[in-house]
């Protein structure tokens, strides 16, 4: 089986395609074409979120592909996320996303961050306090949000629920009261931020990892990392191929974000199965960063301090 066609089984019994199209930070007016083209060339896993502001375009791209007879809805795996200002109104958040997407159901609905924002703040998505900081509702627990999400299971509108950006302490608190184990934890993940503690914990609990920002986010900074270049030269592929393939080798699905047709195609067709030596080379790099405590986090939200993120990336 080609690397791009690998699927991983979730704790629900459903399968998630190893490679997904990411849509975060894709420019307005480009997303629908990117989604439609991705499906045309074989992608079956599409990821978006309410706060990306592009669910409607993602839905347009999906509709175009379905209307063209390229794919049936049941052949797609569509993920979106409950935004922080909807933690106290989970059903409303779901209905808004379904309406935006033009879909009857989601394959996966994630809690975007384990933190609630003021639903009655000065902005529906990004409420702020007078000092410019995020208007966080510290009285609302992510566990409470999860219990509301659990009620969605079996309603015909959500096939699976999961979380995103959850560290081990947040997962432990959630699992202590959960009746439904998250199917997925979507996290920033790449050799410069392997987050092995989270990956190991999730593997033990039957929670699948999906990686975002696999190239190191904007500018693809990992393209020049020495071990990535070494593996790429050895295998005769690009650093992007190595970075995307690394996740599949460790049993994670990965989101490749692009709106460029040729790159969308290459991200799928060029995937390879890394061998043990390749994986060891990359692990040595990650281990060296761990030894010096010099991991690099590229996705640093304004409320990062609430998760214990360092002041500097």
Q: Which amino acids are annotated as binding site for substrate, given as ranges?
A: 112
Tell me which residue of 174, 176, 178 sits closest to 150, measured CA to CA: 178
**What residues form the annotated binding site?**
112
What residues are labeled active site? 52
Nearest-Å Rg of the Cα atoms of the chain is: 19
26: left (phi over 0), alpha (psi -120 to 50) or beta: beta
Beta carbons of 168 and 197 less than 8 angstroms apart: yes
Structure tokens at 155: 């309603």
């Amino acid at each position: 089986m080609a690397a791009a066609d690998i699927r991983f089984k979730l704790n629900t019994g459903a399968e998630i395609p190893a490679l997904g199209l990411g849509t975060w930070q894709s420019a307005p007016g480009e997303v629908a074409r990117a989604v439609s083209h991705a499906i045309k060339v074989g992608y079956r896993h599409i990821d978006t979120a309410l706060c990306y502001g592009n669910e409607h375009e993602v839905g347009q791209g999906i509709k175009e592909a379905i209307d063209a007879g390229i794919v049936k809805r049941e052949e797609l795996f569509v993920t979106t996320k409950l935004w922080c200002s909807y933690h106290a109104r989970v059903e409303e958040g779901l209905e808004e996303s379904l309406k935006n997407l033009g879909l009857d159901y989601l394959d996966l609905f994630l809690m975007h961050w384990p933190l609630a924002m003021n639903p009655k703040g000065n902005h529906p998505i990004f409420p702020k306090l007078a000092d410019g900081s995020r208007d966080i509702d510290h009285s609302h627990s992510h566990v409470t949000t999860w219990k509301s999400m659990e009620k969605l299971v079996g309603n015909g509108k959500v096939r699976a629920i999961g979380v995103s950006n959850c560290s081990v302490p947040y997962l432990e608190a959630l699992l202590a009261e959960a009746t439904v184990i998250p199917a997925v934890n979507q996290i920033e993940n790449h050799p410069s931020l392997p987050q092995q503690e989270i990956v190991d914990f999730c593997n033990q609990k039957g929670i699948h990892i999906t990686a975002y920002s696999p190239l190191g986010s904007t500018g693809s900074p990992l393209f020049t990392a020495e071990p990535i270049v070494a593996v790429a030269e050895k295998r005769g592929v690009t650093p992007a191929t190595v970075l995307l393939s690394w996740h599949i080798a460790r049993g994670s699905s990965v989101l490749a974000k692009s709106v460029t047709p040729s790159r969308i195609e290459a991200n799928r067709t060029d995937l390879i199965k890394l061998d043990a030596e390749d994986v060891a080379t990359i692990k040595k790099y990650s281990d060296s960063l761990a030894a010096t405590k010099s991991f690099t986090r590229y996705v640093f939200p304004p409320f990062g301090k609430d998760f214990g993120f360092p002041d500097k990336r």
